[in-house]
Amino acid sequence: MRWKGRRVSENLEDRRGGGGAKAGGISILGLVVAFVAWKFFGVDPQMAYQATKQVTSGGAQQQATGLTNPTPEQQEIATFVGTVLADTEDTWTQIFKQQGVQYTPPKLVMFSGAVNSGCGTAQSAMGPFYCPADQKVYVDTDFFKEMRTQMDISGEQNQSELSSQDAAGDFAQAYVIAHEVGHHVQNLLGISDQVQKARQQASEVQGNAMSVRLELQADCLAGVWAKDNHQRTQFLEKGDVEEAMDAANKIGDDYLQKKARGHVVPDSFTHGTSAQRMTWFNKGLTTGDINQCDTFNSSL
C-alpha cells in the first residue's frame, strides 16, 4: 500500500503518553478470547459501554496525553493513521457533496491501555471502536502489532525484520480505520440512531441480526472508500485486496467462534460471517457506490 507523502489529517488526538485512563476493577484482558471479535473492526458502542462499566466500577481519571519523545516507529504509526484518516476525509467529503450535504469528519483518538470516551471508559482489549456520542474513533495503536501477530498477516517473515508500516498488513490496518469511519458515516446519515431505537424494542436475537447488518454496511462503506481512494491516489499495490479479504475472513463471527469454541452459534452473531464480511467489503470495493451498501434491504 502506497501511503507516504500524502496529507496527514489534523483531526488526530494523541493520548498515548499516559495510557489514556486508569481503570479499577477486574481486567477485561482475561476475556480476550471471548472478545477477540472486538479486537478487529470495532464494537457496538452501547455494548462497549456496558462491558467497560462493569469492569471500571472504580472510576477513571484522564492522564497526561501525547508522547513526549515518540520513537520513530511510534511517529510512523501516527503518520500512517493520520494519512488514512485524511484519505477518508477526502473520500466522504466528496461523496456527501455529491448528495448535497456537508461531511463533518470524526476525530480519531490514539491511545494506549485505556481511554475515556463519550461512550464510557474503554480498554485496549476491546479493539478499535467508534463512539457516536462524541463522534470520535478510538484506536490503541499497539493493536496493529497484535493484529499482525494474531492474524499472521505478515506470513512467515520474521516480525523483528519488519518495519511497522512498510511490511505486509498496512492495507488491512487501513481497512480497520475505514470501517470505523464507516460507522461515523452511518451516524451522520441517521442510520445508527434508527438501528439503536429498533434494537431497544427487539429481542436479543433480533437485535444481534440488526447489529450484523450495521457492521456489514460499515464493511461495504470501507470498500467504497478504498475504491474512491485508489482512483484518486493509486494507493493499492499487488496483494493489498487479497490481504484485506483475508482479514475480513478471519474476523467473521463463524470463524472466530469455531476457533474459540469449536462450534458456532448463529443467533449470537453480531458482526457477520466470514463470507458475508468479504462479500460486502468486496461489493463496496468493486462498485464504489454507497447506494449498493444497503444491507438492511438486501439478502445477506
**pLDDT one-digit tens code per residue, 134-173:** 999 999 988 887 777 765 544 433 333 334 444 448 999 9
Helix (H, G, I), strand (E, B) or coil at 136: strand
Whole-Å CA distances, 79 to 3, 150, 165, 230: 9, 23, 10, 19
pLDDT at 30: 31
Measure the N-to-C terminal CA separation of the chain; round to a whole number of Å. Answer: 30
The residue length of the chain stands at 300
Global pTM value: 0.80
Confidence of residue 276 (pLDDT cuts 50, 70, 90): very high
Nearest CA among 106, 115, 222 for reference residue 172: 222
Quote the distance between the C-alpha of residue 47 and its chain's center.
Answer: 15
Comparison of pLDDT for 62 and 219, the residue scoring more: 219
pLDDT at 14: 92
Q: Which residue spans within 169-288 are E strands per DSSP?
A: none
Residue 284 above 80 pLDDT? yes
Of the ranges 105-109, 128-132, 258-262, 284-288, which one carries the lowest mean pLDDT score? 258-262
pLDDT at 132: 95
Q: Would you say 81 and 89 are in contact if contact means Cβ atoms under 8 Å apart?
A: no
Q: Would you say 42 and 218 are in contact if contact means Cβ atoms under 8 Å apart?
A: yes
Name beta bridge partners: 111. 15, 140
The radius of gyration computed from the CA coordinates of the chain, to the nearest angstrom, equals: 18
Comparison of pLDDT for 281 and 46, the residue scoring more: 281
The angle formed by the CA atoms of residues 225, 219 and 262, to the nearest 5 degrees, is: 150
Residue 177 above 60 pLDDT? yes
Strand pairing category for 60-62 and 120-123: unpaired
